[in-house]
Amino acid sequence: MANDVRDCLLRQLDIAWALTSYHLETLTTEECLWRPAHAGLHVTQLPEGTWRADWPDREGYDLGPSSIAWLTWHLGFWWSMVLDHSFGEGKLAREDILWPGNADDLRAWIGRLQSRWREAIEPLTDDDLRSPDRTRWPFQERPFADVIAWASVELTKSAAEIGYARFLHGVKR
């Protein structure tokens, strides 16, 4: 029964990824850039053509609902960060992560992150999952299995937020 925990974590990831993929599959750039309210986190195209995401200095409902562009940037942000800090050099910062600029490039970006994450988890042993050695972001000194479980929760949350925003876009006037 070796690797039961890893296999369970991979099944959770697969379920979360299926939910996310459903919402990303037919997502359009127009939906991404639509703002559901006059206020809310969004992305801004800079003069050189790159897209920078807003970063709030606090959390609160009064910030307003985020755009799908921001929600998908945030998904790519945390996944990029956890990959770099767990399996890479650990030097990536929020400012280094840009929104891709359109739905096709977004799908490719998120798909690559999912593949890299799954490939990184597949060879892990029970000892690897119990060890805090790879646990450097978003928390430390916890078993790495906690990071994997957290990532699946984040992915599921992102899928729900993107899906809800798509429903709102679908009935906008």
Query: Exposed e or buried b for every residue in 1-27, given b needs 16+ CB within 10 A?
Result: eebebbeebbebbeebbebbeebbeeb
Instruction: Return the pLDDT at 49.
Output: 96
Q: What is the mean pLDDT of residues 77-88?
A: 98
Domain membership of residue 58 (yes or no) is: no
H-only helix segments in 26-143: 29-33, 68-87, 103-121, 126-130
Residue 100: give the domain boundaries.
Answer: 4-44+65-170
Percentage of residues in the chain with pLDDT exceeding 70?
A: 99
State both tokens at 164: 């809800």
Domain membership of residue 157 (yes or no) is: yes
Domain membership of residue 52 (yes or no) is: no
Instruction: Return the pLDDT at 3.
Output: 83
Instruction: Return the pLDDT at 2.
Output: 57
Tally Cβ neighbours within 10 Å of residue 60: 7
Domain membership of residue 143 (yes or no) is: yes
Instruction: Return the pLDDT at 131.
Output: 97
- pLDDT band of 1, cuts 50, 70, 90: very low
Domain membership of residue 55 (yes or no) is: no
Number of domains in the chain: 1
Q: What is the mean pLDDT of residues 93-115?
A: 98
> Which one-letter amino acid corresponds to residue 144?
F
Domain membership of residue 51 (yes or no) is: no
Domain membership of residue 33 (yes or no) is: yes
- pLDDT band of 172, cuts 50, 70, 90: confident
Domain membership of residue 11 (yes or no) is: yes
Check which CATH number belongs to the domain holding 144 and give it.
1.20.120.450
Give the tens place of pLDDT for each residue, 39-63. Answer: 999 999 999 999 999 999 999 999 9
User: For the chain, how many helices (H) and strands (E)?
Assistant: 6, 2
Q: What is the mean pLDDT of residues 105-129?
A: 97
Average pLDDT along the chain = 96
Instruction: Return the pLDDT at 105.
Output: 98
Instruction: Return the pLDDT at 173.
Output: 72
Instruction: Return the pLDDT at 149.
Output: 98
